[in-house]
Structure 1
Amino acid sequence: MGLVRIEGRFRGPARSGNGGYVAGIAGTALAGVLADELVPQVTLRVPPPMEIDLELDVSPEGAQLRNGEQLVAGAVPVAAEFLADATVEPVSFEEARKAEAGYRGLAKHPFPGCFVCGPENPSGLQLKPGPLGDGRTACTWTPAADLASDPVFLWAALDCPSGWAIDLEGRPSVLGQLTACVDAQPQPGEECVVLGQLLGMDGRKTLTASTLYDSDGRVLARARATWILVDPALFN
């Protein structure tokens, strides 16, 4: 068992940790003990608390992130085939840069301090996933050395680009589940592209996919996500 503390800079909503980052903590811990044909699927059970010590237990059967007796996030192994449709068709770095001009979060963001895409978090990734007009979003990411070397941040980068494939103004949502696979790490300072795609809706749930590409168009990481419709006021 180890201890994990989610610092305030890694927030999503104002009072809880960013879903992709927290899922990455549990997911990368589990990925380290899994066979190649398996990938981690992380379910967030409660808004992840920040600035307190959380317990992280890991075994080949799964990983659990706990706040005392309360389960914050649980990860289980699933077949890699679950991500068969998670590779979003790529665009060039220049096309992704153009899409950023349409990023809706700059004008109205349900969680403006979000570590991944919040315009009011200067220590965050500052991703700006804008619409491509066909159900996909795209943005650029040039990770610094400390971000490129840690797969937790790749999980985080896969989070919000697919979230913005949803109409977050009309359908505000938070991450409920993230299944991801990191195939390779980017180089520090490499010009990467992240894409998201809407897959479907089921009641209060929205299903999405996301993919991270390197400067040569190679897939670095991919994910499928389930988002849950919420009232942002309950989180902020």
Structure 2
Amino acid sequence: MAATGELIVPARYCGPPHSGNGGWVSGTAAAFVPTDDERPAVTVRLRTPPPLDRPLAVTTGEDGTVRVTDGDHPVLEASAVARPAVDGIPAAVSFAVAEAAGDGYEGLSDHPFPTCFTCGTQRGDDALDLRPGRLQDGDTYAAAWTPAADVDVATVWAALDCPGGWSAGFAGRPMVLGTMTAWVGRVPTPGEPHVVMAWPRGAQGRKFFSGTALYAAGGDLLGQAEATWIAVDPAAIRPAGS
């Protein structure tokens, strides 16, 4: 296991108030993972809530698996994998339709993590402010997004994160990200309208599964993800050792 560097999660990128946004942290860790044409995506398994504002050690194994640790506590593991299947991905709705869906965003009335970088309702211009809302078909969600000037790959992972949770049943059943597999083909253009589509992919016990896709205004697919969510008590979400 070779030391690769360190990862710090600034408080700006929180999900729950005391730990990092799962998508942003996963996307930041993914940058350490070598990918290739056969394995252009990265899968990240979160082991414990990522702590904020302190250095986390990043190491790489002989097989290319990246591990992030907080002292003796494992935070996540990341490795290169094949791109998620494109079959069954919903086509993008228009930006206007996605904006209208946001009027019904369930987080406006009940949000267990209102400080979340991606979908929190108590954030300002330093966050994404995504409001994924249910479309008329009843299962698919859409969120309008106009990326800021500092958009990067980790921000795309964050945008592909929370909408999936809401589509999987986050309202009334708090969940945290357990595993996320994402492919980012291109970073979106700042200031241009984009749409994130999200849909449920089933459930098993406390685990809930979702898919997400990011589209440019012209319908180009820029990124996609599959995620596993774990139902939790939100009051118990703290980094190991806290």
TM-score class normalised by the smaller sequence: over 0.9
Structure 2-normalised TM-score? 0.91
Instruction: Return the offset for 1:89.
Output: 2.6
Structure 1-normalised TM-score? 0.93
Tell me: CA distance 1:165–1:46, structure 2 relative to 1, closer, same or farther (3 Å).
same
Match of 2:169 in 1: 167
Match of 2:21 in 1: 18
Match of 1:2 in 2: 5
1:79 partner amino acid: A
Q: Percent identity?
A: 42
Q: List alignment gaps of at least 5 residues for structure 1.
A: none
Alignment pair present for 1:182 and 2:178: no
Match of 1:210 in 2: 212
Q: List alignment gaps of at least 5 residues for structure 2.
A: none
SS in 2 for 1:29: coil
CA contact 1:9–1:121 (8 Å) conserved in 2: no
Instruction: Return the offset for 1:86.
Output: 6.9
Instruction: Return the offset for 1:170.
Output: 3.0
Match of 2:68 in 1: 65
Alignment pair present for 1:234 and 2:236: yes
SS in 1 for 2:75: strand
Instruction: Return the offset for 1:37.
Output: 1.6
Equivalent pairs counted in the alignment come to 231
Match of 1:79 in 2: 82
Match of 2:128 in 1: 125
Residue 221 of structure 2 is aligned with which of 209, 219, 222? 219
Match of 2:43 in 1: 41
More helix as a share of residues: 1
Match of 1:102 in 2: 104
Instruction: Return the offset for 1:47.
Output: 0.6
Instruction: Return the offset for 1:79.
Output: 2.2
Please give the per-residue CA displacement for 1:130-153, whole angstroms capped at 9, x wherever unaligned.
111431111111111211xx1010
Provide the rounded CA distance (Å) in 1 between the counterparts of 2:53 and 2:177: 20
CA contact 1:86–1:223 (8 Å) conserved in 2: no
Provide the rounded CA distance (Å) in 2 between the counterparts of 1:206 and 1:167: 8
Instruction: Return the offset for 1:166.
Output: 2.6
SS in 2 for 1:65: strand
CA contact 1:44–1:72 (8 Å) conserved in 2: yes
Please give the per-residue CA displacement for 1:169-221, whole angstroms capped at 9, x wherever unaligned.
33211100000000112111110001110010011100100000011110000
CA contact 2:168–2:209 (8 Å) conserved in 1: no
Match of 2:156 in 1: 154
Tell me: CA distance 1:229–1:202, structure 2 relative to 1, closer, same or farther (3 Å).
same
Match of 2:118 in 1: 116
Match of 1:143 in 2: 147
Instruction: Return the offset for 1:90.
Output: 1.5
SS in 1 for 2:235: helix
Alpha-carbon RMSD across the aligned residues, in angstroms, is 1.5
Provide the rounded CA distance (Å) in 2 between the counterparts of 1:40 and 1:158: 13
